[in-house]
Amino acid sequence: MISEAGIWGIFLIPVGALAIIALVIRPLLRHHRTPVIAGLITMGALAASLVLSVWALVSVMEDGPLIYDGVTWLTVAGMEMRVGLMVDSLTAIMLVVVTGVSLTVQVYSHAYMKGDTGYVRYFAFMSLFSAAMIGLVIAGNIIQLYVMWELVGLGSYLLIGFWFHRPAAAAAAKKAFLVTRIGDFGFLLAILYLFFNRGAFIEQGLNPLNIVDIQAAAPLIAAGTFAALGGLGVTWVAVGIFAGAVGKSAQFPLHVWLPDAMEGPTPVSALIHAATMVAAGVFLIARFFPIFQASEEAMAAVALVGAFTAVFAATMALTSNDIKRVLAFSTVSQLGYMVAALGIGAYGPAIFHLFTHAFFKALLFLGAGSVNHATGVFDMRYMGGLRKVMPWTYGLMLIGSLSLAGIFPFAGFWSKDEILGHAWRGPDGLDAIVFALLIAGVALTAFYTFRMFYMTFHGEFRGGAEAEQKAQGDAAVGNPAPKPHLAESSLVMLLPMGALALGAAAAGYLVNPQVDLLDIPAHWFSYFVGPEGAKAPPLNSGLAAFAMGLSVLFIGIASLTHLKGRGAGKRVERAVQPAVTALNRRYYIDDLYEGKVVKTGFYRYLGGFLDWFDQQIVDALVDAAGWLSRNLGWAVGRVQTGQAQFYAIGASLGALAILVTYLIWS
Amino acid sequence: MNAFDGILTAVVFLPLAGAFLILLAVRGDGNARVARLIAAAVALADFALAVIVFTRFDAASSERFQLLDRFEWFSASAFTAQYQLGVDGLSAPLVLLTGMLGFCAVLASWGISKRVKEYFVWLLVLQTSVMGVFVSLDFLLFFLFWELELIPMYFLISIWGSGRRQYSAMKFLIFTFLGSAFMLVAILALLLADNVGHLDMIKLAEQGADAVRTIIPLSVVFWFFFIAFAIKLPLLPVHTWLPDAHTDAPTAVSVMLAGVLLKMGGYGLLRITVGMFPNMAVDHALAFTILAVVTILYAAVITVRQTDLKRLIAYSSISHMGLVLLGIGSIGLAGGGFAAVGLTGASMQLFTHGAITGLLFLGVGLIYDRVHTRYIPDLGGLAHRMPLVAVAFIIAGLASLGLPGLSGFVSEILVFLGAFKAYPLLTALGAFGIVITAGYILWMMERALFGPQRSRFSHVKDAGLIDAAPLAILVISVIVIGVYPAFLTDVFKAGIEPILALMS
């Protein structure tokens, strides 16, 4: 069994890598062109963390959850805030996903970022992010979790804005931080509310900040023996936590930051904005799942927001021409599936989908990066025909796409069907709505995935960066675009993709097989992560066939419109043009937030008014008082000499005079 | 009962002695180097003494006030004025903060070329006065130090400042002076109260002054003290001196102003308003909380609009000082230990904001020194040429917006945890300030530091060794407190608990 120190090691090794890179490598090797050592340190650290994570997983499989009290961080008024460890099956799975995907992405990054002047800084930030993400999933205390939660946000901020010389990147970083912080505000209020009920927790012998204790309070709440959090109380806590998840997992209405976050380097998008950090929202709901289950209203909200987001984001992926943005919308949509699954109580399937999604989405992003290396663009209108020059990337992307579209027997098929199956079996109206939305999402997913795939790899090559620059007008870009060197990416990039492709292809069936498979028991994953006593449902083969048929149908439609180059016909195109515009403007929601709410409402009106009020009323009154006193008469006028000593002497003399008067009188 | 440990007397008067040394040893303005070196040596020694004070203070001891220097100063028929210095859990960390920032301020003044000797004399006098305020435990002495601080401050802004420095210095002076007038009346009223008759702050702190019979209504005394501290902190609506004073003050003076001078207001609120009038303070907790929330949000919104880096940080300081009062508002609900959490947060906020804002002003000073403008729309891309300054500035900014792992978060979360129990809705409103804060800090960093490199800044140099030293000191303090806050909170807690014990 792994020791407490071993688990801490998973977290502390990347912290050490960060410290070494920031304090030693960067100051000493800043003038080297590509100080490979920074990359190697990060990779080595993550490899070590991965080994320990696997060990932790095995330990949890054998011995159940590992919970350690840890050390005291703060004690105030008898209230201990501890930094502890909570490694249950959920954490164990997350640890392997985080360290595994992170390691592959770091290897890929080494080639992708080669020659970038910020190579060292990049790996420092990556170590920081990985450490924070690990810290997030092992946290045993809600404040500790919140700390790491914000620190992954910092990592995201730093890496989105990695190329800070680009105004778009700097703005996207800020936007990501701010939008998620609105959600975090809700999370913070939930923590405050838990602490608010400290007395009630203590009565039950529980600590309101300890995650295990919060989970333990849930059955008491449901049983009605925990009055303080009964009724609406528990709903408030759940809704607050959910707000944090909505921000981090880019669910509607806080989804706006994720597409912009694509300004960061592509491996960053793969790791942070596809596989790990954005899944932290799902993790958060799962972590406090008992609390959610105690509130029907909260569960309904989670289900509806998730299901709506799944469809809503998928529609925006339909028309986007930027390959990374298609994938970003797709991520939002897939996270919607996970959130919706949690909302209808399908805990195991949600985590299963999180697991498979990490593989195929990271793979797709790395593929997009590979394509970008060859063409110099992310705009698919200037790609095309790449299957001939990049056969490996083509094949790997195909695996990722099939998995995303939920085609048998790829990983995405299994996890998505578990979610659908759960929604289908649901008894009430809510499940029906969720099911309908998620099924619609399946069709949309298949279409946008293969539209992307065909536009990128099929047809004729449409010129890459050169053509893009021409189309944008030369004035828009300062330097002439480099000639695309159409070639397959290096092995250092392909191998990590290959590793992820293995997962995207097989991880679905292998970890959660329908029947005993050699050493793997049937439904292993479901039983492992699922709440105790949960029954793993057998695959609903009729439903699975229907969903896959739908996917195949929409892949077929995508083939017609984008492979055969037929388009949809001029009439149809004209008819849908307003809709396409609305989709490309992301339903005008960003315009509403940034233009109307922030710039006009907040900055111009509220800010402008208070600014005016402060200067013209408050400060003017002060000046007027000063003017009055200056002109009140001869005596006062003489006193206003502007000599500070004079004032100080005046004050002291005044004090003395009053004292003396008093002493004489008494 | 006399006592003389000596260390506090040393920590207070060493800078003053240094000032005299500069006056005596440096002839004329030609020998600026000597003045600088003496000032730096003295400030470093004072920093070391402050560290010793902090480490010697024993938070676990049953003695509330420690390291006492006490003897009779003069005696009249009715009362005795004492020379009484001492520290408790509340003031020991603030002594450390003052020592740290005082040294940083001297280093940040390395580039001063006008009337150098005089400048450092005033800067050291300023440090003596602030230290004096934090360790004085007799009202007469306290008031003298409180007033003494005005003189160096006035000259430092009006002579070495920029922009409308005369106006700003005068505004600062009049405002603070007005506050002092209120405080003086309040102190005298306490002295003249028929069951007090002394100025011993230890006795007043131990008994509380809630029940004294003053010649003017006690609530007037209470509010007069409050007004004096509200001006200093500052709170709405008596805050307008601060943006002007900051904007026009030289860098090091801004560091001292935001870093320690504002803390005199917060210290006064905790030591006197809450510490001596605990039950009256509890009665006014709701008013405090409302005022705090208004200050936090009002100042935060105005901060977003600022286009001058210094003004922006100045307004953000007002907003952050509102958090101190919000933490104090947690006394509105006694019991359950929430008030202890809130007050610890409030006092922590004094320390953390001091270091963070000091760091921000150091950064602005370095930027201004090199690019000669603080107008944000004219900046941009500075991170390319000034990576060290940018990193320090970003760390300070992130700490300011309450990023966990850095010091600001600790005080913020304690304030919120404490205050939420007493006034959940108001606290939630105030907590929304963290979103606005993130907005103005990140937007400022984006506009000043990020973006393409500007050709007109291509000559700009990064921080040198002397510039980097204070940055490093403050960055370390921000990270250390953020990661391991217990070494400070445990001390503050020792200062808070006796106050809470007085509440009935």
- Is there a contact between A74 and B489 if contact means CB atoms under 8 Å apart? yes
pLDDT band of A328, cuts 50, 70, 90: very high
Q: Which two tokens stand for residue B270?
A: 């905790």
Cross-chain CB nearest to B337 (options A78, A146, A171): A78
- Is there a contact between A648 and B150 if contact means CB atoms under 8 Å apart? yes
Distance, in Å, from the CA atom of A322 to the CA atom of A387, rounded to the nearest integer, reads 18
Please give the average per-residue pLDDT across A157-175, as a whole number. 92
Q: How many helices (H) and strands (E) does chain A have?
A: 31, 2
pLDDT band of A429, cuts 50, 70, 90: confident
- Total structural domains within chain B: 1
Per-residue model confidence (pLDDT) at position A602: 84
A20-29, B125-134, B309-318: which has the minimum mean pLDDT?
A20-29
Per-residue model confidence (pLDDT) at position B326: 95
Q: Which two tokens stand for residue A209?
A: 């900040």
- Is there a contact between B78 and A146 if contact means CB atoms under 8 Å apart? no
Q: Which two tokens stand for residue B192?
A: 């003249």
Cross-chain CB nearest to A143 (options B413, B428, B493): B413
Provide Rg for chain A, Cα atoms: 29
Per-residue model confidence (pLDDT) at position A634: 45
Residue A636 has pLDDT above 50, yes or no: no
Return the higher-pLDDT residue of A190 and A539.
A190
pLDDT band of A603, cuts 50, 70, 90: confident
- Is there a contact between A648 and B148 if contact means CB atoms under 8 Å apart? yes
Residue B400 has pLDDT above 90, yes or no: yes
pLDDT band of A398, cuts 50, 70, 90: very high
The 8-class DSSP code of residue A210 comes to B
pLDDT band of A538, cuts 50, 70, 90: confident
Per-residue model confidence (pLDDT) at position A441: 93
Cross-chain CB nearest to B451 (options A79, A165, A189): A165
> Beta B80-87 vs A66-76: how paired, if at all?
unpaired
Please give the average per-residue pLDDT across A287-312, as a whole number. 92
* Helix ranges, B81-135 (H): 91-108, 116-135
| List of chain A residues whose C-beta atoms are within 8 Å of the C-beta of residue B237 | 618
A180-184, B331-335, B482-486: which has the minimum mean pLDDT?
B331-335
On average, the pLDDT of chain A sits at 86
- The distance of A236 to chain B (nearest Cα, Å) reads 13
Residue B300 has pLDDT above 60, yes or no: yes
Return the higher-pLDDT residue of B26 and A610.
A610
- The distance of B387 to chain A (nearest Cα, Å) reads 11
Which among B263, B205, B176 has a CA at the least distance from the CA of B84? B205
Residue A593 has pLDDT above 70, yes or no: yes
Measured in Å, how far apart are chain A's first and last C-alpha atoms?
Answer: 82
Cβ–Cβ under 8 Å, residues A112 and A265: yes
Chain A residue with Cα closest to B156: A644
Q: Which two tokens stand for residue A415?
A: 């996890």
Cross-chain CB nearest to B428 (options A73, A189, A608): A189
Per-residue model confidence (pLDDT) at position A647: 58
Q: What range defines the domain where residue B337 resides?
A: 284-499
- The distance of B77 to chain A (nearest Cα, Å) reads 7
| List of chain B residues whose C-beta atoms are within 8 Å of the C-beta of residue A651 | 147, 177, 180-181, 184
- Is there a contact between B170 and A167 if contact means CB atoms under 8 Å apart? no
In a domain, B50, yes or no: no
Backbone angles phi, psi at B71, to 5 degrees: -155, 165
| List of chain A residues whose C-beta atoms are within 8 Å of the C-beta of residue B485 | 73-74
pLDDT in tens, B56-68: 999 888 888 888 8
Distances (CA, A) of A561 to A464, A536, A543, B215: 22, 40, 27, 91
Peptide linkage before A538 cis (omega within 30 of 0) = no
Give the number of other Cβ atoms within 10 Å of residue A496's Cβ.
26
Mutate to test the interface with B, among A15, A76, A193 (most CBs of B within 10 A): A76
- Is there a contact between B452 and A655 if contact means CB atoms under 8 Å apart? no
Please give the average per-residue pLDDT across B389-407, as a whole number. 93
Residue A665 has pLDDT above 70, yes or no: no
- Is there a contact between B432 and A79 if contact means CB atoms under 8 Å apart? no
pLDDT in tens, A221-270: 888 888 778 778 889 999 999 999 999 999 989 999 999 999 989 999 99
Cβ–Cβ under 8 Å, residues B231 and B178: yes
Per-residue model confidence (pLDDT) at position B171: 85
Q: Which two tokens stand for residue B143?
A: 């008031």
Return the higher-pLDDT residue of A308 and A70.
A308
* CA angle, B369 then B372 then B377, to 5°: 125
| List of chain A residues whose C-beta atoms are within 8 Å of the C-beta of residue B409 | 147, 150
| Residues in CB range of A549: below 8 A, 6 or more apart | none
Mutate to test the interface with A, among B301, B318, B323, B410 (most CBs of A within 10 A): B301
Q: Letter for the amino acid at B200?
A: D
Residue A650 has pLDDT above 70, yes or no: no
Chain B residue with Cα closest to A161: B450
Distance, in Å, from the CA atom of A549 to the CA atom of A547, rounded to the nearest integer, reads 5
Q: Tell me the percentage of chain A whose pLDDT exceeds 90.
A: 44
Which among A84, A45, A79 has a CA at the least distance from the CA of A65? A84
pLDDT in tens, A455-478: 999 888 888 788 888 887 754 555
Please state the three-class secondary structure of A396-445 as a single string: HHHHHHHHHCCCCCCHHHHHHHHHHHHHHHCCCHHHHHHHHHHHHHHHHH
- The distance of A635 to chain B (nearest Cα, Å) reads 17
pLDDT band of A72, cuts 50, 70, 90: confident
- The distance of B438 to chain A (nearest Cα, Å) reads 7
In a domain, B312, yes or no: yes
Q: Tell me the percentage of chain A whose pLDDT exceeds 70.
A: 89
pLDDT band of A481, cuts 50, 70, 90: low
- If you count residue pairs, one on A and one on B, with CB atoms under 8 Å apart, how many are there? 177
Give the number of other Cβ atoms within 10 Å of residue A409's Cβ.
12
Q: Cα dihedral angle (A502, A508, A510, A513), rounded to 10 degrees?
A: -160
Q: How many helices (H) and strands (E) does chain B have?
A: 24, 3
Per-residue model confidence (pLDDT) at position A374: 87
| List of chain B residues whose C-beta atoms are within 8 Å of the C-beta of residue A647 | 150, 173, 177
- Is there a contact between B147 and A648 if contact means CB atoms under 8 Å apart? yes
Backbone angles phi, psi at B249, to 5 degrees: -80, 150
In a domain, B435, yes or no: yes
pLDDT band of A106, cuts 50, 70, 90: very high
Chain A residue with Cα closest to B405: A147
- Is there a contact between B449 and A182 if contact means CB atoms under 8 Å apart? no
| List of chain A residues whose C-beta atoms are within 8 Å of the C-beta of residue B434 | 181, 185, 188
Please give the average per-residue pLDDT across A176-195, as a whole number. 93
Percent helix, percent strand, percent coil in chain A, to nearest 5: 75, 5, 20
A357-361, A518-522, A544-548, B39-43: which has the minimum mean pLDDT?
A518-522
How long a stretch of residues is chain B? Answer: 504
A659-663, B352-356, B469-473: which has the minimum mean pLDDT?
A659-663
Most confident range (mean pLDDT) of A210-224, A357-371, A455-469, B77-91 is A357-371
- Is there a contact between A610 and B77 if contact means CB atoms under 8 Å apart? no
- Is there a contact between A655 and B486 if contact means CB atoms under 8 Å apart? no
In a domain, B317, yes or no: yes
- The distance of B152 to chain A (nearest Cα, Å) reads 9
Distance, in Å, from the CA atom of B347 to the CA atom of B326, rounded to the nearest integer, reads 11
pLDDT in tens, B207-240: 777 777 777 888 888 999 999 999 998 898 888 8
In a domain, B409, yes or no: yes
Distance, in Å, from the CA atom of A220 to the CA atom of A241, rounded to the nearest integer, reads 19
Chain A residue with Cα closest to B149: A648
Distances (CA, A) of A630 to A577, A633, A637, A639, A640: 69, 8, 5, 9, 7
Residue A426 has pLDDT above 80, yes or no: no
Distance, in Å, from the CA atom of B34 to the CA atom of B296, rounded to the nearest integer, reads 44
Per-residue model confidence (pLDDT) at position A582: 82
Mutate to test the interface with B, among A21, A23, A74 (most CBs of B within 10 A): A74
In a domain, B450, yes or no: yes
**Residue A488: helix, strand or coil by DSSP?**
coil
On average, the pLDDT of chain B sits at 89
- Is there a contact between B147 and A181 if contact means CB atoms under 8 Å apart? no
- Is there a contact between A654 and B184 if contact means CB atoms under 8 Å apart? yes
Cβ–Cβ under 8 Å, residues B192 and B280: no
Cross-chain CB nearest to A192 (options B383, B417, B446): B417
Measured in Å, how far apart are chain B's first and last C-alpha atoms?
Answer: 30
Chain A residue with Cα closest to B179: A651
- Is there a contact between B489 and A607 if contact means CB atoms under 8 Å apart? no
pLDDT in tens, A337-353: 999 999 998 888 899 99
Q: Cα dihedral angle (B137, B139, B141, B143), rounded to 10 degrees?
A: 130
- Is there a contact between B336 and A198 if contact means CB atoms under 8 Å apart? yes
Q: Letter for the amino acid at A596?
A: K
| List of chain B residues whose C-beta atoms are within 8 Å of the C-beta of residue A610 | 298, 301-302, 305
Give, for A86, the enclosing helix (H) or strand (E). Answer: strand A79-87
Cross-chain CB nearest to A618 (options B169, B240, B420): B240
In a domain, B390, yes or no: yes
- Is there a contact between B410 and A74 if contact means CB atoms under 8 Å apart? yes
- Is there a contact between A146 and B150 if contact means CB atoms under 8 Å apart? no
Give the number of other Cβ atoms within 10 Å of residue B369's Cβ.
16
Cβ–Cβ under 8 Å, residues A484 and A467: no
| List of chain A residues whose C-beta atoms are within 8 Å of the C-beta of residue B439 | 178
Per-residue model confidence (pLDDT) at position A631: 63
- The distance of B67 to chain A (nearest Cα, Å) reads 25
Cross-chain CB nearest to A614 (options B170, B302, B340): B302
Backbone angles phi, psi at A409, to 5 degrees: -105, 30
In B351-411 the beta strands, taken as DSSP E runs, fall at none
Q: Tell me the percentage of chain B whose pLDDT exceeds 90.
A: 52
pLDDT band of A219, cuts 50, 70, 90: confident
Residue B3 has pLDDT above 90, yes or no: no
Return the higher-pLDDT residue of B73 and B77.
B73
